C-alpha cells in the first residue's frame, strides 16, 4: 500500500514538473513546450475519461459494502470497471502519442509507446490482476 502511494506521488510530481518545465529559469530548451503540452493533454483527457469511471466504481463498491453488511447477495462485477479503465488508459496513451507526434515528432512517440507497453506488460504478468480488484 505504501509503495503504491509512493509510486502515485512520484508520477504526479513528474507530470507536474513536465507541465511547469517551460517556466523554470535557465536557458531555452526546445523540449520544454512539447513535454508540457503532452502532459497537459494527457491529464485533461485522463480527467475526462477516468474520473467518471472512478466515481461509478466507488459508488458500486460502497453499495456492495452496504449489501454485505445487510447480508444480501453480492454480484461481484467490479472487474468490469478494471477492464474499462484499462481500455480508457489505452485511449489516453494513443492521444498522448498523437500529441507527441504533432509537437516533437516520432522520437517522443517511441518513448510514449515504450512506456505504454511497459505498463501493459506489468499488467499482463501480474497474476489475476482483475480478479483481485
pLDDT per residue as tens digits for the range 101-115: 888 888 878 888 888
- The three cell numbers of residue 83 are 477492464
pLDDT per residue as tens digits for the range 66-101: 888 888 776 777 678 878 888 888 888 888 888 888
Q: What sign results for the dihedral spanned by CA atoms 35, 116, 58, 62?
A: negative
Number of domains forming the structure of the chain: 1
pLDDT per residue as tens digits for the range 13-53: 999 999 999 999 988 888 899 889 999 999 999 999 989 99
How far apart CA 84 and CA 53 sit, in angstroms, is 8
- 118 occurs within a structural domain: yes
Angle made by CA atoms 61, 67, 73, in degrees to the nearest 5: 110
- 130 occurs within a structural domain: no
- 133 occurs within a structural domain: no
Residues whose CB falls within 8 Å of the CB of residue 35, separated by 6 or more in sequence, listed in order:
18, 21
- 25 occurs within a structural domain: yes
Q: Provide the 3-class DSSP secondary structure of residue 132.
A: coil
Give the structural domain span for 111.
2-125
Amino acid at each position: 500500500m505504501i509503495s503504491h502511494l509512493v509510486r502515485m506521488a512520484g508520477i504526479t510530481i513528474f507530470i507536474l514538473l513536465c507541465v511547469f518545465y517551460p517556466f523554470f529559469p535557465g536557458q531555452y530548451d526546445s523540449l520544454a513546450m512539447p513535454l508540457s503540452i503532452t502532459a497537459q493533454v494527457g491529464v485533461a483527457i485522463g480527467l475526462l475519461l477516468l474520473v467518471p469511471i472512478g466515481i461509478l466504481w466507488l459508488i458500486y463498491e460502497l453499495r456492495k459494502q452496504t449489501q454485505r453488511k445487510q447480508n444480501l447477495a453480492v454480484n461481484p462485477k467490479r472487474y468490469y470497471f478494471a477492464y474499462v479503465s484499462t481500455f480508457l488508459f489505452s485511449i489516453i496513451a494513443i492521444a498522448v502519442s498523437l500529441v507527441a507526434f504533432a509537437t516533437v515528432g516520432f522520437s517522443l512517440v517511441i518513448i510514449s509507446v515504450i512506456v505504454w507497453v511497459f505498463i501493459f506488460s506489468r499488467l499482463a504478468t501480474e497474476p489475476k490482476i482483475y480478479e483481485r480488484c
